[in-house]
Amino acid sequence: MANITGTSGNDTLNGTSSADSITGSSGTDILYGGLGNDSLYGGTNADTLVGGGGSDSLYGGSGSDLADYSASGAGVSVNLTTGAGLNGDAQGDIFSSIEYVLGSDFDDTLTGNSSDNILTGGLGNDSLAGGSGDDSLYGGDNADTLTGGSGADLIDGGAGRDMADYSAATGAVTVNLSTGLGSGSDAGSDTLTGIEDVTGSGNADSLTGNSADNALYGGGGADTLTGGEGADSLDGGSGNDLVSYAASLAGVTVDLATGVGSGGDAAGDTLTGIENLTGSALNDVLTGNTSANLLTGGDGSDLLDGGSGADSLYGGVGNDTLKGGTGSDILSGGTGIDTADYSASATAVNVTVNGTVSGGDAAGDTLSGIENLIGSALNDTLTGDAVSNYLSGGAGRDSLTGGDGDDTLAGGAGIDTLTGGAGLDYIDYSTSSSGVSVNLATGAALYGDAQGDVLAGVDGIIGSAFDDTLVGFDAQGAAPDVYTNIFYGGGGNDVMDGAAANDVLYGGTENDTILGGTGDDTLSGGDGTDSLLGGDGNDSATGDAGDDILSGDVGNDVLDGGTGNDAVYGGTGVDALSGGDGLDTLDGGDGNDTLFGGAGEDVLYGGAGLDSLVGGAGSDTIYAGAGDTVDGAESGDEFDVINLAGQGPYVIVRDPLNPENGVVNFLDEFGNITGTLTFTNIEQVVSCFTPGTLIVTDTGLRDVASLRVGHLVMTRDHGLQPIRWVGARRIKPLELLVDPSLRPIMIRRGALGCGLPERDMMLSRQHRMLMNGPRAELLFGTDEVLVRAAHLTCLPGVHEVEVASVTYVHIMFDQHEVVLADGAWSESFQPGDRSLNGLDGDQRDELLRIFPELAQMDQTHRYDAVRTTLKAHEARVLLSA
């Protein structure tokens, strides 16, 4: 046994293996008792007392003194409030005036007192309790439990998964691991770091996690738990507890019945003992359990399902769907278009929007802020209010009444009674498993979900995804509320007839037939090959995608073919026609019309009236007459043509500075001008064997550009003969500049005598015309010969013309033929080396595939000419008389 006393300095005093008495005196001393039952007296200042083995007495004296068990070979239990120690080196120890404790490397239990304690757990799974006072708890490594007690405590879990425990607090606490701050009762002014888990008090606590995987235990009371990011374990304990996902940056899906969450901050969460949920500001799915749940959707379009129990569902902002389930529920939609859904009810419901309810899951419910209703699979009665409602009956014999407002009634399967009431009301068959036939004029409803339905006060129809027939009512002179039919065909090949009203008809997908009827209608074909007929009235029709047919009929119509190869007919009236993209045909009909071809190679017919015709992008063919204004529209290498077929005599006057612009003066039999056509950006007016030439066929005169393989053409020698090949070659401006021999020859009307040709013709230089008479017989031994266009320029009215570009069209038969073109006999295409070389490579290859023998014959016998062809000097002799 030794009695050791230190100096006034900072001493380190070591005891023996016996029962020693060691006194530190003044200074900051370190006292080691060693083995034996030692008594350590710290004296003044901040001393460190290490009792070691044995039952030691540790007296800190004045100052903040530390009991150090870091060398203990086992975990210790130290309680500064009782002044007693247990286990390891603390076994049998007693304490006085000790403020700080340092634990071992094992599982320690350290308890403070009313002083401002510092408890350090070190290694091991430690339990630290500060007691009263402003304590600092350091868990160290591993999983520690830290209880600050009253006072402003520092709670530092250190490494490992650590818990801040407020279960002993007498009042509610608020703890936020994201900010590291606490407030209320024992958490007042606490600072937390390195904490993953929190246990609340027996009161109404608010516990918030951080980005880690937190475990929050509410304990007793009505707690609010916010896990935040991470896969959190949220246990409300007893009481009516709430989990909030209001801060989640993505929508969440949480089911209290299964206790599982997903999406946003709910991803990986597990929930136990939770009765209430608050969703995010996005689209959430919140499902209750058998308790009386409070589900709050917040912003976003949420789905709230209360399950069994007397639940309260609050949709908040957005278009929400609320399912109360069994029990007397409160369904409050909030702002937005909200739906009360009773589709899971085992018996029929009777529900008035935001009014009286009864039957099935609706019994005892209270509705507010609800716009739409979904019934059960039985015979429901659903009634709207003064706003626009959507009522869906589902299966069964339902009775749906819209009331005031623009309502949509979906009866579903079964024989339903659908009453629109005031407002513009629709019946909706979009979910029907087969096509429907509905006639609003007669009230007849057939097929699919419409079979047997009783209709009243309905103005619009939404069709199925199949082939529907939708017919409107004749509402001329009716009240404005029932004046307009609005139909949506949906999928399928639909037929829609608006009848006599100002209708709005949308075809949807596939091939629809849409009849506007009398009135100012708006028609839209949608996708597919649609037929739109406006009928009488000032109609607006859009073909949209697909190869559509649009007809305005009587009235001032606006018609747009949209994409695809469309046919657009204005009819009578001042119409505006647009082809859109594709190879379109536009016919203005009677009236002063405006036609715009749009992109693609279009054909425009002005019809009667003073029309404005604009070809748009692409090489267009425009049929116009006196009083019309034509613009081919300049766009790249396009080649626009005005066809004056059937217009009688005329003279073309081109602008000398820009030959693509000019006027056409129409003449009477005395040469007087009777009318004028103005054109701009037109490469060619009239043509022969170019777009616009009229060829005699079995069906009458046809534009040579419209001829196809198989068409029957009248020939001079063999009657009607089928075309075997059709080709065309566009000569571009640069080619004409480099090779002037590609320029066309103009043969004016009557230049060949006897009124032939009947119209101005423009031919390639090598194209041959048939000349006949006794002079030919006298000179060449045959009364019919062929003369090249270039050799006819000695005649008045025949001359070479300069054009920006030109297109030559070729038609070929099984043999060389003479055909009637613009009233004059002219040759068909005869393949030879020169003519073959004038074709594009693809056309030449195509021709040789059709007539492979052409590649085998020598030039002189390649394709015999149907008549003798005169040389240049022979032609001059023939034509000199």
Looking at residue 565, the DSSP 8-state letter turns out to be S
H or E segment to which residue 16 belongs: none
- pLDDT, residue 689, reads 57
Residue type at position 354: N
Residue 299 to residues 1, 317, 340, 719, 767: CA-CA distances in angstroms? 77, 4, 17, 80, 78
Strand order in the sheet with 350-352: 357-358, 350-352, 381-383, 399-401, 417-419, 454-456
Position 291, amino acid: S
What one-character-per-residue DSSP string does 301-331 give? Answer: --EEE--SSS-EEE--SS--EEE--SSS-EE
Please classify residue 132 by burial: count the beta carbons closer than 10 Å to its beta carbon, then call 0-12 exposed, 13-18 middle and 19+ buried.
Answer: middle
Contact 393, 376 (CB under 8 A): no
Which residue type, as a one-letter code, is found at position 756? L
**What are the two backbone dihedrals, phi and then psi, of residue 284, each rounded to the nearest 5 degrees?**
-110, 160
Positions in the chain short of pLDDT 50: 476-478, 480-482, 686-688, 833-834, 837-839, 843, 846-847, 857-861
Bridge partners (DSSP) listed for residue 113: none
Residue 858: the pLDDT is: 47
**Amino acid 481: pLDDT:** 46
Number of Cα atoms under 13 Å in the Cβ half of residue 29: 30
Q: In this structure, which amino acid lies at residue 688?
A: C
CB 266 within 8 A of CB 254: yes
Reference 795, options 740, 746, 742; nearest CA is 746
Query: What is the end-to-end Cα distance of the chain in Å, rounded?
Result: 161
Say how many C-beta atoms besides its own lie within 10 A of residue 84's C-beta: 14
How far, in Å, CA of 27 to CA of 712, rounded? 127
Q: Specify the amino acid at residue 77.
A: S
Would you state the structure tokens that stand for residue 59, as one six-digit string? Answer: 């007296």
Q: Which residues pair with 569 in a beta bridge?
A: 551, 587
Phi, psi of 52 (to 5 degrees): 75, -155
Distance separating alpha carbons of residues 662 and 495, to the nearest angstrom = 47
**Distance (Å, rounded) from C-alpha 557 to C-alpha 535?**
10
User: What SS3 state is found at 695?
Assistant: strand
d(CA 824, CA 80): 127
Q: H-helix or E-strand containing 605?
A: strand 603-605
User: How far out from the chain centre does Cα 327 lie?
Assistant: 39
- Under DSSP, is residue 449 helix (H, G, I), strand (E, B) or coil? helix
Checking DSSP bridges between strand 806-812 and strand 768-772, what pairing results, if any?
A: unpaired
Q: How far is 62 from 49, CA to CA, in rounded Å? A: 13
Q: How far apart are CA 194 and CA 180, in angstroms?
A: 9
**583 touches 566 (CB < 8 A):** no
In this prediction the pTM is 0.72
Q: Is 157 in contact with 148 (CB distance < 8 Å)?
A: no
Torsion angles phi and psi, residue 818, rounded to 5? -115, 125
Task: State how far the Cα of 553 lies from the Cα of 548, in Å rounded to an integer.
Answer: 16
- 529 phi/psi in degrees, rounded to 5: -90, 100
The vertex-844 CA angle with 840 and 845, nearest 5°, equals 120
Structural domains of the chain sorted by starting position, each given as residue range(s) with its CATH number in brackets: 707-830+865-879 (2.170.16)
Cα separation, 826 vs 718, in Å, equals 14
Question: Cα separation of 155 and 338, whole Å?
Answer: 47
Return the structure tokens found at 672. 């007087």
Q: How far is CA 502 from CA 472, 498, 679, in A?
A: 10, 8, 38
- Phi/psi at 858 (5° precision): -80, 165
Q: List Cβ neighbours of 681 (8 Å cut-off, separation of 6 or more).
A: 615, 631, 632, 633, 634, 640, 660, 661
In angstroms, the CA 313 to CA 293 distance is: 8
Please tell me whether residue 742 adopts helix, strand or coil conformation: helix
Residue 101 contacts residue 93 (beta carbons within 8 Å): no
